[in-house]
A and B are shown apart, each in its own frame.
Chain A
């Protein structure tokens, strides 16, 4: 319990409520072979990202060295160690989307929102991500905001779409 309170002091995002859900996830998976990645996936779903303090906590609870946990988190693109914006824009960098002009869409979003791919705007409104194929090539070029998929986007329409998100 001591450790939990320390965590909250170190990182305000690790609230008691979040940590009790993290504990529940760990208890449910502990001891299963290969449980680290599913645990990390679920914990990221709770906290939105995986801060260093949380990685150390998960490692110690699962008896896995912190270095191994860190190694896994940095290897997979699904995991992030920095907090995300209120909305996540994913531009699909699959081949079909690329051939149909997603590169120009991405450039325009970068310059308009003043953020580089992989980063979050200063006001934490948007995180801009480039993702590998979303598998919706029939609608190329494709952009996803939060969980809504937009097909056939152009630089102009992409800006109009993101305008709708506050």
Chain B
């Protein structure tokens, strides 16, 4: 009883505290942007132009725009551009981290009169929106990056493959392309250099696997977007069997500044193996949600707790998920890991394209693994058996576990299937698909075991494993659940603990999500 009272008091106290903070806010001196940790701790390269009008090319030009293109086209040979890119140490920002300069060199040396430059703007990783923001805020940077890449490999035609779900990005890209064309920055004889480059937008039609390079090229060819085995690599045989370079949006956004400021300048930022900055889309249970650009090597703790402001009150940090359905999560004990390609891989996640989702103690890790497996299964193109059948089987097991029907041996089967799929799948989608399961097993095996052996969901997220009963000891009799219940299944009177009528309850989770004292189980 006294405990209940103290809980109630705690809540009142917290409210008072909040009000006080509110007051302070009103009296506060407005800090300078660089003194706000969210902004001050960032280093902006890719996002440096985020305040300009993206629909006016002049604004981009006023920020030194297209000067790198002029330099590349008028003063540099393809070999010099490639050398500069190699010096910079820039690695592909789509997730795999292949050195960009090397990729361009392969395509440059590849024989052929027709070559293509492609931009992968098919940002399909759920929970990631870095590329969308760059395309919407600074589309000309992508155009300029592609012009430079075209010169480096000797291509005269480019495509931007953008998802149909990003209508504003497509609109602004179209405006950018027509303005650049009017200025003669796209088309024939750019800057009077004799170099031609034409650029078109290709709208994707909603298939995650099209983020894979060979699948993306099939899609542009008008076919089902299925991957094919490599080699031959796109640098030798890509779009329409011609040598092709494909880079992601963020990679291209770095290129103009590397050419403008020099590769050495860029290599001075970041760590030994991972140069420059990385943009993350910081979301989930974190105070400051948004785009965060930091030098490589910044720790996860700095990003989540200093820049992101940590998890909101009353909630506790549990894990951070990186790389979406291809990645994994990192638990609190490894929160000081620096973000660079190698360190992140060492702790069981991947750098990925930049999705960073913070999870609190109300997130069930088994359900999370099920969520990602559902995604991979749904997006599997069906071409290769390990991915098509293997992910389906894994999903069935995970669904079974979250329904409370898990059996001993399920974890072993999951691990076994994971290994086979990783080794045998045709493309990156399948090869990385088991990662969310493996990494949650690595850090939260006890949660799997609680589901299977105790038929219990520790995070209270799996409805099948919940009783929907009120713990009268914990209940503070506030009546919130009673007011929120959509089916009037809860009875409550002032100063009395709530009661749930199981016949009326539809297990919608509203009461559990809203209970301030964690009293419903």
Contact = CB atoms under 8 A, between A and B. Distances in A.
Asked whether any CB of A lies within 8 Å of a CB of B in the complex, the reply is yes
B371 A78 contact: no
A38 B357 CA distance: 34
Nearest to A96: B283
Contact of B371 (A77, A95, A135, A140): A95
Interface string B102-134: 000000000000000000000111111100100
B224 A71 contact: yes
B471 interface: no
B355 A95 contact: yes
Contacts of A78: 164, 204-206
Interface of A: 33-38, 40-41, 68, 71-72, 75-79, 93-96, 98-101, 104, 107-108, 111, 131-138, 140, 155-156
Contacts of A111: 506
A93 B289 CA distance: 18
Contacts of A68: 223
B448 to A, nearest CB: 19
How many B residues are at the interface, by size bracket? 35 or more
Given A36-B222, A96-B126, A138-B289, 18 more contacts: A33-B221, A34-B220, A35-B222, A38-B202, A38-B203, A40-B205, A78-B206, A93-B126, A94-B126, A95-B324, A98-B371, A100-B285, A104-B513, A111-B506, A133-B129, A135-B129, A155-B510, A156-B510
Q: Which of A34, A38, A40, A41 has the most CB of B within 10 A?
A: A34
B207 A77 contact: yes
B486 A155 contact: yes
Nearest to B203: A41
A67 B240 CA distance: 21
Contacts of B207: 75-77
A104 B219 CA distance: 34
A109 to B, nearest CB: 11
Q: Which of A41, A134, A138 has the most CB of B within 10 A?
A: A138
B225 A76 contact: yes
A80 to B, nearest CB: 10
28 contacts: A37-B222, A40-B205, A41-B164, A75-B207, A75-B224, A75-B225, A76-B205, A77-B205, A77-B207, A78-B164, A78-B206, A79-B206, A95-B127, A95-B324, A96-B126, A98-B371, A99-B368, A108-B486, A131-B165, A132-B208, A133-B126, A136-B129, A137-B129, A137-B281, A137-B283, A137-B289, A156-B484, A156-B510
Interface string B405-439: 00000000000000000000000000000000000
A113 B509 CA distance: 19
Given A138-B290, A156-B484, A99 B205 contact: no
Contacts of A131: 165
A33 B240 contact: yes
Nearest to B124: A132
A98 B375 CA distance: 12
Contacts of B240: 33
A94 to B, nearest CB: 4
B166 interface: yes
B284 interface: yes
A59 to B, nearest CB: 12
Interface of B: 123-129, 132, 164-166, 202-208, 219-225, 240, 281, 283-285, 289-290, 321, 324, 355, 357, 359, 363, 368, 371-372, 375, 381, 484, 486, 506, 508-510, 513
Nearest to A73: B205
A99 to B, nearest CB: 5
Nearest to B363: A99
A71 to B, nearest CB: 5
A155 B164 CA distance: 27
B165 A99 contact: no
Contacts of A133: 124-129, 165
A155 to B, nearest CB: 6
Contact of A108 (B284, B375, B508): B508
Contact of A76 (B125, B132, B206, B368): B206
Q: Which of A71, A137, A155 has the most CB of B within 10 A?
A: A137
A82 B55 CA distance: 37
A131 B203 CA distance: 17
A104 B510 contact: yes
B481 to A, nearest CB: 13
Contacts of B363: 99
A73 to B, nearest CB: 9
Contact of B513 (A95, A101, A136): A101
Contact of A99 (B123, B166, B208, B357): B357
Contact of B126 (A71, A72, A95): A95
Given A99-B357, A108-B508, A41 B205 contact: yes
Nearest to A112: B486
Given A95-B324, A96-B127, A133-B129, A155 B285 contact: no
Nearest to B379: A132
A12 B132 CA distance: 39
A115 to B, nearest CB: 16
B489 to A, nearest CB: 14
Nearest to B281: A137
Contacts of B223: 68, 72
A130 to B, nearest CB: 10
A62 to B, nearest CB: 9
A104 B510 CA distance: 8
A141 B321 CA distance: 17
A77 B206 contact: yes
A77 B355 CA distance: 22
B509 A104 contact: yes
A98 B324 CA distance: 12
B451 to A, nearest CB: 17
A117 B490 CA distance: 28
Which 6 pairs between the two chains have the least Cβ-Cβ distance? Answer: A95-B127, A76-B205, A135-B129, A78-B206, A77-B206, A94-B126
A99 B289 contact: no
Contacts of B357: 95-96, 99
A34 B203 contact: no
